[in-house]
A and B are shown apart, each in its own frame.
Chain A
Amino acid sequence: MKHASKMMAAALAAGILNLVSPAPAEAQNKVPFAGSTTWLGMVPVMVAIEKGYFKEQGIEIDYKVILSSADRIRAISSGDVVFSNLGRTAVISEMARGNNTFYYFANIDDSPGNEGCWARPGFASIKDMNGKKIAANASAEITMHGLLATNGMTAKDIQFVNLPPNEMAGALQKGDVDAACIWQPLLDGLKTAAPGGKLLGTDMDTETFKKYGTMAAPDIMIISRKFADEKPAEAGKLTVALFKGADYANANPEETAKIIAPYFKKTPEELLPGVKGFKYFGAKDWQAHMKRHEAQMQELANWLADNGKIPSKPNVANWANYKFIPR
């Protein structure tokens, strides 16, 4: 009996030690990246991981799935994540509150035409949405505002429903909302959920696209300020791998679709049209590319502040850092 009690105590102690002990050394050397598995903008990162471009640079990536951009940036602020590709609306919100825990340094995906609003049958245009329910989330909400503005409307003319991206298809199918705005590949899901519906417009129909040639609120690549300041060489290597991943995705869409299929839990055939329609940006002309995006980001920040979404207008350039990017 005494022996059994000692054994139980030893097993319990071992169990507790196992719970509280730190991760093995090899896992601790991984560089954590925060991204989603619902947006094709993450593809260059996935390709760079699977093709070994990060490993070539001596870096191992830990891909942490965090669906919300706002949560990704908080993971960076807390130090749990080193870099992320995320919606710039969340980034600008943090800039407006003086969050200095990150830099932005690249835009690796910008694909106008891949974010739009799909309505149930019976609606011919955005103007028909007067008084109706439109669901949107994150950057798609900015696209929605852009489409409304293009048609002389504002959010006050509709009933805005803030739905998580993965819930929109079901809500649209049931008729709980009359239209939903989201990005690919979820936009295709809306078309399947409400067949015979109408594409009310995409980000290419907004003023932002006409002025800058970009999506309404594209992604932006950010990196922990601490990491970039303390390890600029490693930050540079990360960028080299990312750019390589972007270039590969542009040049090899079929292979890319196969590589990313496990991340999205879809078949390569389902993903290929989306991948072919996406634009990724690598090393070529990245300075000119970022100049355009910085201007767009500042205009978006001004719009968000003027519309009461953020408390102040940040000077976004204060968060730029391109010093570690190899020329």
Chain B
Amino acid sequence: MASTPARTGGRGATPARPRARGGSRYRPVLLLNVLGVFAFVGMWAAATELGWVSPIFLPSPMAVAREGQKLLSTGDLWTSVWASSRRVFLGFALAGVVAVPLGILMGVWWPAKATLDPFVSLLRPLPSITWIPLTMLWLGIGETQKIMIVFMGSWIYILLYTIESTKRVDPLLIRAARNLGANDLAVMTNVVLPGALPGILAGLKVTLAISWSCVLSAEMIAAQTGLGAMIWMAKDWGNLPLVLLGMVCISITVLIADLAANWIERALQPWERHKRD
């Protein structure tokens, strides 16, 4: 449908059509993105095919593509992607279910924060890989253990983001609501939660990427499927093209997850849409 040029001023003028998302820079940005990736892959191929870098130290993109083709034809690649994704999303969802309500509670009620703060400080610096020995003893080497590693590596970050976002809700808004007769539940649902939501969602997006690094730690131990297991076994057999394929698959999967997260964020915060490109 051809666009109608906007006419400004005067009675009967047609209101201007809202600008498309991203404005006039969207296509050039996308073009540069694609060109950049192609240029990088081209340089990589040249470096390996022309012998500037030995394939022992850096496999060529063609070798990586061949591994990808092999795994696609057997269906193993999709199995690995699905296995890792399932563990990430289950562990991440569990972390969200635990950490968001707890973070809101700690953000609004000082006794909860005072009690739990020391434990949060102790747990915060521990990388997920440090939980492997204990979780193996408690949960064995099955799926539950792997999901727990993802949970242990991500819940604390969701908690911290949630606490901060809740604390940053403008106290004037809360006072205004109370002055207008709002009870605690109304304040929570109509002021605190909507006010904290942007920060909570931003924290969830960041932590989703962290969850992916946790699943790699989890899949180092006794996992027969998954991108982390694939990378680890490929490493043991010296199959660097397969290692690189695993890394590329992780990046693409996280990118897709990011796009989905952005869509969910826009859906949950219609009042924020005007701020986005």
Contacts and interface: CB of A to CB of B under 8 A. Distances in A.
A241 to B, nearest CB: 29
Contact of B140 (A99, A174, A309): A174
Interface in A70-109: 70-71, 73, 77, 90, 93-94, 96-101
Interface stretch (A157-165, A246-254, A286-294): A157-165
Interface string B231-261: 0010111111000000000000000000000
Nearest to A99: B56
Interface string B193-229: 0000000000000000000000000001110100001
Given A164-B221, A174-B140, A97 B233 contact: no
* Secondary structure dominating the interface of B: loop
19 contacts: A68-B236, A70-B238, A93-B237, A94-B56, A96-B238, A97-B55, A97-B238, A97-B239, A98-B55, A135-B222, A161-B141, A161-B222, A164-B220, A171-B136, A174-B137, A174-B140, A176-B140, A176-B141, A176-B142
A161 B224 contact: yes
Contacts of A199: none
A187 interface: no
A170 B132 CA distance: 12
B132 to A, nearest CB: 8
Contacts of A100: 56
Nearest to A77: B56
Given A97-B56, A161-B222, A162-B224, A171 B238 contact: no
A176 B222 CA distance: 10
A171 B140 contact: yes
B141 A162 contact: no
Nearest to A166: B133
A163 B222 contact: yes
Contact of B56 (A70, A101, A170): A101
Interface string A54-65: 000000000000
Contacts of B140: 171, 174, 176
Interface in A223-247: none
Interface of B: 55-57, 136-137, 140-142, 220-222, 224, 229, 233, 235-240
A70 B136 contact: no
A309 B237 contact: yes
Contacts of A160: 224
Contacts of A97: 55-56, 238-240
A162 B56 contact: no
Interface in A122-181: 135, 138, 160-164, 167, 170-171, 174, 176-177
A142 to B, nearest CB: 12
A310 interface: yes
Contacts of B142: 176
Given A98-B56, A163-B141, A177-B141, 13 more contacts: A71-B235, A73-B238, A77-B57, A90-B236, A97-B239, A98-B55, A161-B141, A161-B224, A162-B222, A167-B136, A171-B140, A176-B142, A176-B222
A167 B233 CA distance: 16
A292 to B, nearest CB: 25
Contacts of A163: 141, 221-222
Contacts of A90: 236, 238
Given A97-B56, A162-B222, A163-B222, A70 B141 contact: no
Question: What 9 pairs across the A-B complex have the smallest Cβ distances?
Answer: A93-B238, A176-B140, A176-B141, A70-B236, A163-B222, A99-B56, A94-B238, A93-B237, A161-B222
B57 to A, nearest CB: 8
A171 B237 contact: no
A220 to B, nearest CB: 15
Contacts of A93: 237-239
Nearest to A141: B236
Nearest to A68: B236
Nearest to A161: B222
A167 B236 contact: no
Contacts of B235: 70-71
Contacts of B56: 77, 94, 97-101
B250 to A, nearest CB: 19
A167 B236 CA distance: 17
A73 B235 CA distance: 11
A161 B130 CA distance: 21
A35 B229 CA distance: 24
